[in-house]
Structure 1
Amino acid sequence: MDAFTTARGLRRAAVLAIALTLAVTGCSSAGSGSGDVTKNVVPTQDAEDNNPQPLDRIKDGGEFRPPLQQWITQWNPYQVDGRYGDAVSIMEYTQAKLFRTDAKGVFKPVPEYLVSAEVTSKSPQVVTYKINPKAKWSDGKQIGVQDFKAVWESTNGKNPAYNIADSSGYEQISSVEQGADAQEVKVTFDKPYADWQNLFDPLIPAAGIATPEAFNQGWIEKVPIFGGPFKIGTIDKTAQTIALVPNPDWWGPKPKLDKITYRVLAIPAITQAFLNNEVDYASAGSATAYGQLKDAKDGVIRTGTPWDEVHISFGGNGPLADKSLRQALGLALDRAALIKIVNQGVPVEFKPLGNHLFMTNQSGYQDNSGDWAKYNVAGAKELLEKAGWKEAAAGQPRTKDGQPLELHYVLSDGSAQAQIDMATAVQNMLLQVGVKLTVDKVPSKEYFGKYVNQGKFDLASWRNTDSFPLSAGVANYRAPQGDNVFGNYSKLATPEIDELLRTAAATLDPAEAVKLYNKADAQIWELGHTLELYQRPSILAVRKGLANFGAGSLADTDITKVGWEK
């Protein structure tokens, strides 16, 4: 889905991808002439296709050329503007990535940083981290308790001067202390936190976030300190390229690649860049892109099912402050028809999504949408009437207190045709119930920073990615605190939802936590916060010979193993 803007959920610490990420996925319309294709991929929890190869079959050296959908300005993944998905991924290659998940989402400590990490007490909950003594930052300082403490103190929400992405998990911590020696860190929680492996990942250095100014401003257009297998080589804003090179002081297995060059491209240009051998992968998730890429020279299609969802968010300002109006919009939109627009010509079935927190292939998933996502024009009109919006002449918007019911759909000007088609379909559907919707195209580079992140939309569509495990999704629906909306750009919340999500994140019994998350999700549907559309499969065209990289599931990429087959 070429052009879905992405907010990535900073998976181990906050949410959105990580943030965040979003690449709104667009696919070509039914009228594109591409026709339909067999839906031959069925989501499974560990579906992935990344050409796994042992290291002895991978060349030493070589360049990997990924596309970037927008320029990265804020590199601090804990700062509210640092949640863009590609930025988070790059930071995980250049900072201390404490854990990786396997294809089924099981956390495993990364040995270059952690000898071990485990719960050593349950009452109170204490997590003891034993750090690899070789682990150090590019300024020569050992990775240690000072870094854990700095992340906690800046991100726990107690000091509003730190403009944080999310305090979930960190606000439950009561202390961070050195253990038996300099390589041991003890983190004590005053309330249980089930997904503690989300936290401090990636760990970033205390020297870079010791003050609010450093936290908020010190990572703009630069990464001041490194601690991963790669470091930033060059940032060329004029050429819109960012190059990573191996960290010469890296103590772990030497990366196979000797360069990773990211290039910012408008979404429609990525397909052609792949065909021109200018980038090494491109989304093939739209009918147009799939048609062009499926037989590309030196290309192969790889598919997988990660945590990735596409939705339409409703704003919380103006007329939409009224829950009844938001609920009416949800009933007026035909989800099946919208999904069909973007699924046309793509070899994977897009599954309707009935949950904001779980994917369809995730343990614990249940459809909580009830009547709130059922196409019901009569029901929408009834809600609008009860809310005081009176029907007008045919083709004219409803009115209330003399004001017409006019809303705005914010759309990136880099959107693929299917995204545009979907917005047009939404516009037509809402007109049928008396809502005038204007589609406002805004510069793709400003879509998040100036519009979504600021809550300046009535309707908008993007992806949330990597909001896993469950507590990572809390930031999208928690109540804002002052000017900090975390990942809840609609700014819509209730104390009941907030309490359910917090309690679920503190529940160590997985089965009981699932019940609480699902109860919260049902209330999110009733709130009219977000109309979930579908779970988005990963469909990529990848350069032949690229190993240990492709379309994933819940697994993290080990960038040291990515390279080109011999």
Structure 2
Amino acid sequence: MTVARRFLVMAAIGTAVVTALGACSAAPKTPQGNAPAVHSQDINPKPVSELRDGGTYRWAIQQWITQYNKYQTDGAQGDAEAIVALVEPQLFDRGADGVPKVHTDTLVSAAVTATSPKQVVTYVINPKAKWSDGKPITWRDFEAQWKALNGTNPAYQISSSAGYEKIESIAQGASPNAVVVTFKQGFGDWQLLFDPLFPAVAMDTPAAFNAGWIEKVPVTAGPWKIGSLNKTTQTITVVPDPAYWGTKPKLAAISFRALDSSAITDAYLNNEVDEAPARTPETYKRLKPAKNTDIRVGARWDETHLAFSARGALTDVRVRQALGMAVDRNALVRAISKDLPFALAPLGNHFFMPNQAGYQDNSGIYGTFDQAAARKLLDAAGWTAGAQGKPRTKGGKPLSLTYVLNGSGNQSSKDTAQLIQSMLGQVGVDVQIKQVPGNDYFEKYINVGDFDLAVFRQVDEVFPSMLYDIFRQPSGNNVYQNYGRIGSAQIDQLLLQAQQSTDRQAAIALYNQVDKLIWQAGHSLELYQTPQILAFRHTIANEGATGLGTQNYVTTGFTKS
């Protein structure tokens, strides 16, 4: 069962970071072990028979959810997607190796049934599967989702059309439960489509798609259903759905409480939530000795990056390239690694994680700390160096950029902003940090491109084609998820070629080729694979650091002792 994906607020550098700039060659003082092994998980696995019935698992989220349609522009937010994944039908689960397998509660089977003259995928729906309004799940639901997401109707405010625009037709197959999807072109990552599947009745008009999921989930078909949405207390609760035909959850409820990132550690220590991120030195130090606590670690598809906009001075690619060279990524990861159980390294790829097949470091000169090269690029772009401590100027205007900071973030995110501000200041770039309310951060700033610089995360993009809309060129008013509006026709062409390749190794080669162009374009500066370090109540089983896999909350529960 897929959980949190995309656009989680960055929080990954400890309080000591700001001082690290002046001593960035220092090695971590704390002895560290190896990073989590490839394909490993740390979830306290237990047979369901050893778990007690009932109990409420309390989970902190970072903001109140306004849009529950994960396919709508404002719904591409990790906490919303985590909740939706519990209440809507999943088609696939991923094992620890990241490889998808059919979710048998929803599907009997799913496979490529033809490759010539066109690619055809046939899904067979579990005949017991039905929506909460009593209607069976059918091929019509697949059809409605395709029509909403294929990009042909601009009235649908979609977050991504990746893969859906390659479908030619959807029809009923040989049996009433069979769905035949025919593609116009090959699509290697077909298993990411329709997952989760949404009901046709809540997708088949632009009004239903865009507004029908605002602060509500109109129809469900998962092991859980919405129990309550309380905006006053900022809490959301899901409970088992007695009408669900598949495996029933062991827990009595999962509750979600919106908290500022800075408040989650205290909430855990006060026994108000049952898990908390421990991926920063400051949180790790506080949570590791906590009573009845396990620290669980893994290597998730989870990256933290510095996003650039293409407005103002940043319309010039040389300025964006210079910013990338002026940031000392090694200093950042050394500071992040200090006092954590394992060390990190700068990330060199926008598509693949170091523990994932296909990874190679494509950063080249654009990810190499080189202040002299950064200064030369700024000189060439016409930004004249000023007096010591003064920003560069051009046409009488200073080179001043706005770094938008999530005000709900913890001290770590504030330290990160200050460190980047200091690094860029050394090459003559003035950075003004603008702190904004957490609930406004994405909707009013990132999503609409109202920033010059911002640091945040992408999560669980295990299928590389999921990243298509992050790097493709905007079309008219639709920026997809390319909020910095940076791209090129060549990048688009290679992304499409990679998507269409059904040869996995050929696709990997193409994604690495386009990744080099993304680095060159100064789209964003990859910082590191965000460490997956979590504190859990030791009685919680079958939940934790899942690595490249997905979490099945049906089997999550509390041990009997």
Does residue 356 of the first structure (1) align with residue 342 of the second (2)? no
**What is residue 41 of structure 2 aligned with on the other side?**
48
AA in 2 matched with 1:227: A
Q: What SS is found at the alignment partner of 1:550?
A: coil
Distance 1:105 1:141 in 2: 32
**What is residue 185 of structure 1 aligned with on the other side?**
179
Distance 2:44 2:100 in 1: 22
- Per mean C-alpha deviation after superposition, the further-off stretch among 196-205 and 83-92 is 83-92
Residue in structure 2 matching 1:550, options 544, 555, 559: 544
Q: Trace 1:77-96 onto structure 2 (pairs within 5 A).
A: 77-96=70-89
Residue in structure 2 matching 1:514, options 508, 511, 526: 508
1:329 is displaced (CA, Å) by 0.7
Q: Trace 1:283-302 onto structure 2 (pairs within 5 A).
A: 283-302=277-296
Q: Trace 1:154-169 onto structure 2 (pairs within 5 A).
A: 154-169=148-163
Call closer, same or farther: CA 1:527–1:70 in 2, change over 3 Å: same
Structure 2 contact 260–409 (Cα < 8 Å) conserved: no
- CA offset digits 1:356-377 (Å, max 9, x no partner): 1111111111111111111111
> Percent same amino acid among aligned pairs?
48
1:98 is displaced (CA, Å) by 0.7
Structure 2 contact 13–416 (Cα < 8 Å) conserved: no
Q: What SS is found at the alignment partner of 2:367?
A: coil
Structure 2 contact 449–483 (Cα < 8 Å) conserved: yes
Structure 1 contact 47–552 (Cα < 8 Å) conserved: yes
**What is residue 378 of structure 1 aligned with on the other side?**
372
Does residue 484 of the first structure (1) align with residue 454 of the second (2)? no
Q: Trace 1:32-431 onto structure 2 (pairs within 5 A).
A: 36-123=29-116, 124-431=118-425
- Per mean C-alpha deviation after superposition, the further-off stretch among 230-239 and 39-48 is 39-48
Distance 1:152 1:361 in 2: 32
1:423 is displaced (CA, Å) by 1.3
Structure 1 contact 137–227 (Cα < 8 Å) conserved: yes
Structure 1 contact 29–341 (Cα < 8 Å) conserved: no
1:33 is displaced (CA, Å) by 11
Distance 1:347 1:386 in 2: 43
1:25 is displaced (CA, Å) by 2.0
TM-score for both structures, normalised by structure 2: 0.96
**What is residue 4 of structure 1 aligned with on the other side?**
none
Distance 1:307 1:419 in 2: 20
Structure 2 contact 327–369 (Cα < 8 Å) conserved: yes
Call closer, same or farther: CA 1:169–1:408 in 2, change over 3 Å: same
Does residue 473 of the first structure (1) align with residue 459 of the second (2)? no
TM-score for both structures, normalised by structure 1: 0.95
Structure 1 contact 26–417 (Cα < 8 Å) conserved: no
1:299 is displaced (CA, Å) by 1.1
- CA offset digits 1:204-230 (Å, max 9, x no partner): 100011100100000000001010000
Structure 1 contact 26–415 (Cα < 8 Å) conserved: no
Distance 2:413 2:501 in 1: 39
Distance 1:21 1:49 in 2: 24
1:486 is displaced (CA, Å) by 1.8
- Structure 1 unaligned residues grouped into runs of 5+: 1-9
Structure 1 contact 342–418 (Cα < 8 Å) conserved: no
- CA offset digits 1:258-288 (Å, max 9, x no partner): 1111111111111111111110000111112
- Per mean C-alpha deviation after superposition, the further-off stretch among 474-483 and 360-369 is 474-483
Q: What SS is found at the alignment partner of 1:407?
A: strand
AA in 1 matched with 2:10: V
**What is residue 24 of structure 2 aligned with on the other side?**
none
Structure 2 contact 260–410 (Cα < 8 Å) conserved: no
Q: Trace 1:520-535 onto structure 2 (pairs within 5 A).
A: 520-535=514-529
**What is residue 24 of structure 1 aligned with on the other side?**
10
AA in 1 matched with 2:539: G
AA in 2 matched with 1:421: D
Call closer, same or farther: CA 1:320–1:142 in 2, change over 3 Å: same
Distance 2:247 2:174 in 1: 28
1:417 is displaced (CA, Å) by 2.1
Call closer, same or farther: CA 1:60–1:490 in 2, change over 3 Å: same
Structure 1 contact 43–361 (Cα < 8 Å) conserved: no
1:348 is displaced (CA, Å) by 2.1
Structure 1 contact 155–162 (Cα < 8 Å) conserved: yes
**What is residue 7 of structure 1 aligned with on the other side?**
none
1:32 is displaced (CA, Å) by 9.7
**What is residue 6 of structure 1 aligned with on the other side?**
none
AA in 2 matched with 1:471: S
- Structure 2 unaligned residues grouped into runs of 5+: 21-27
Structure 1 contact 21–86 (Cα < 8 Å) conserved: no
Structure 1 contact 395–431 (Cα < 8 Å) conserved: yes
1:341 is displaced (CA, Å) by 2.7
Structure 2 contact 308–524 (Cα < 8 Å) conserved: yes
1:323 is displaced (CA, Å) by 0.4
- Per mean C-alpha deviation after superposition, the further-off stretch among 302-311 and 389-398 is 389-398
1:399 is displaced (CA, Å) by 1.1
AA in 2 matched with 1:564: F
Q: What SS is found at the alignment partner of 1:456?
A: coil
Distance 1:542 1:11 in 2: 19
Distance 1:237 1:410 in 2: 26
1:11 is displaced (CA, Å) by 7.7
Distance 1:130 1:62 in 2: 35
AA in 2 matched with 1:30: A
Call closer, same or farther: CA 1:31–1:141 in 2, change over 3 Å: closer
Distance 1:434 1:33 in 2: 20
Q: What SS is found at the alignment partner of 2:364?
A: coil
Distance 1:332 1:436 in 2: 13
Q: Number of aligned residue pairs: give it.
A: 552
